[in-house]
Structure 1
């Protein structure tokens, strides 16, 4: 067993430029106290095309190997479980994930590992900031970007509040800033659920599964990653569809064991979100457009809940955005 060694994994598909930026940031990571680091790239595509990229980064970080693992079966769960299997089979003590459209701060992994070790947590995460490569063009894109930034800040403030009140175990740990103590996985056999393979939400499923199995989970504000938001995500259609997909996924997770209850709760949720979306649209002149993202996402959420009632499933991961 590679005691005290972290497998830092990133799953990728059709985003070679973003992946390269992610690898550049990973190779610039600070050393982690009492732990070595290896990088694993899981290419989720029918044909592998990243050998040249891996060769380019080999040896850039002293003491760190970079491995390419090809997972030809399409789906985010296939990719994540391939990384989990690799880390378990090779005796790593921890598995960390970021997304291929992110970059990490130099102290990200050391802060994540430090907080996990000091608090003896099984699963830990941290904040995700957002950035754009170029300033959005046009009034609509600029308004969406302001709204997106405001939403990211609200999410982080809520997490900080829970952290200060020692209730950060209730924060859902997403795989865009995520680390698990693999001893917990070895003891429990917990894996990513195949039901979320194309829909997304596999990290939420893992988090809730871990909590049911008694995992100690937490969040640290000091371990920061930053997500690049490409222009195609700053559109009304994308923001609506993303909220729709997330709503559908959470609907099926919450009501799969309570099918009758959904007909009591969900109609009220749909009504509330529809009214909230309408109110945010009316507030656009007062917010200088920054409430647009909230309005779109509220309406997308309401539509997703309605679709969930009639058995619709999300297929978010059939396509990718970015470069």
Structure 2
């Protein structure tokens, strides 16, 4: 008899009614008969605002759904609540504004087993509205893919990922609470997986989809996000480069990269996609520089706009 494989799908949520669409898409995924699949929803709001939506979705759902209240307004708290509550062999993370494709979990698991991977990343396909700028659609600025360095993936993200919880490198690993408001907690988490000897693989056909809201359809939003990502990378660099000369060298190289990107933006100003791509990359390197000189990281989790819409972003 084939041993049962327990897979927990985890979703952290904060005041997003789209969680019902996310759960609805999970109800149609393909699974293997040897899998025992369950779902955890960790609500990061101050009050259990998502409980009714989740419990209503659980009626007639093909897998057990467990609701957890994990306050408040710190995404690392919610992610760690998922890690603590999931007792199975594998744990998958997706965001509460995404929908999965039918082969999503099959593709992640196939790659995990084939490569004996500690973690597997899948791609996120951005779904643009008719009002989205042409340059944003043409450049596909909102879709998410892993970054390869010398043929390896050295960090990752939680918007589409699978973790093999049987691996020693993950058994006690948790998300950094200090990064729970600034973001970048997932980058740091996967960096530690890799630094501890873990293997991160890519399942190119394990697609999830995400609608791009109007609040994110701007150059300012993209540049701010990349700046914050740069701050995370800068903080990681600081941890790894203890000597002053190593930090000075990192600052010099990053300064050159920033200047190169902004020069590229100026030289490609007549290309709507290219100059913006260069500008956004420049913002990333400015974020790294800000971290290297000790600037405070910006906070993007838990803030609320004047119209009452939460600004949480993955």
Residue 192 of structure 1 pairs with residue 175 of structure 2: yes
Question: What secondary structure, in the 3-state scheme, does the structure 1 residue paired with 2:125 have?
Answer: strand
Contact 1:27 1:60 in 2 (8 A): no
Deviations 1:133-178 (A, max 9, x none): x2125xxx3323333x06748x57x76xx8xx9x4x4253311111
Residue 317 of structure 1 pairs with residue 312 of structure 2: no
Residue 53 of structure 1 pairs with residue 48 of structure 2: no
Where does residue 272 of structure 1 map in the other structure?
Answer: 257
Where does residue 84 of structure 1 map in the other structure?
Answer: 83
**Cα distance between partner residues in 2 of 1:296 and 1:254:** 22
Q: CA deviation at 1:304?
A: 1.4
Where does residue 306 of structure 2 map in the other structure?
Answer: none
Residue 125 of structure 1 pairs with residue 121 of structure 2: yes
Residues 1:211 and 1:306: Cα distance change in structure 2 (over 3 Å) = closer
Contact 1:4 1:36 in 2 (8 A): yes
Residues 1:172 and 1:24: Cα distance change in structure 2 (over 3 Å) = same
Which stretch of structure 1 is more off in the superposition, 174-183 or 301-310? 301-310
Where does residue 21 of structure 1 map in the other structure?
Answer: 21
Listed as ranges, the matches of 1:44-193 within 5 Å are 44-62=44-62, 64-87=63-86, 91-132=87-128, 134-136=129-131, 141-147=133-139, 149=140, 152=143, 155=145, 167=151, 169-184=152-167, 188-193=171-176
**Cα distance between partner residues in 2 of 1:187 and 1:315:** 27
Deviations 1:187-240 (A, max 9, x none): 742222223222222222222222233323211112111222111111122112
Query: What is the TM-score of this pair, normalised by structure 2?
Result: 0.86
Contact 2:169 2:198 in 1 (8 A): no
Question: What secondary structure, in the 3-state scheme, does the structure 2 residue paired with 1:175 have?
Answer: coil
Query: What is the TM-score of this pair, normalised by structure 1?
Result: 0.84
**Cα distance between partner residues in 2 of 1:100 and 1:151:** 16
Where does residue 11 of structure 1 map in the other structure?
Answer: 12
Which stretches in structure 2 are left out of the alignment for 5+ residues? Answer: 304-309
Which stretches in structure 1 are left out of the alignment for 5+ residues? Answer: none
Q: CA deviation at 1:15?
A: 1.7
Question: What secondary structure, in the 3-state scheme, does the structure 1 residue paired with 2:167 have?
Answer: helix
Contact 1:255 1:262 in 2 (8 A): yes
Residues 1:284 and 1:32: Cα distance change in structure 2 (over 3 Å) = farther
Where does residue 42 of structure 1 map in the other structure?
Answer: 42
Aligned with 2:218 (options 235, 246, 262):
235
Question: What secondary structure, in the 3-state scheme, does the structure 2 residue paired with 1:109 have?
Answer: helix
Relative to its length, the structure with more helix (as a share) is 1
Residues 1:310 and 1:120: Cα distance change in structure 2 (over 3 Å) = closer
Question: What secondary structure, in the 3-state scheme, does the structure 2 residue paired with 1:318 have?
Answer: coil
Deviations 1:230-259 (A, max 9, x none): 111111221121111111111011122424
Structure with the greater relative contact order (CA < 8 A, sep ≥ 6): 1 or 2?
1
Contact 1:173 1:207 in 2 (8 A): yes
Question: What secondary structure, in the 3-state scheme, does the structure 1 residue paired with 2:158 have?
Answer: coil
Where does residue 206 of structure 1 map in the other structure?
Answer: 189
Q: How many residues align?
A: 302
RMSD, aligned α-carbons: 2.6
Q: CA deviation at 1:41?
A: 0.9
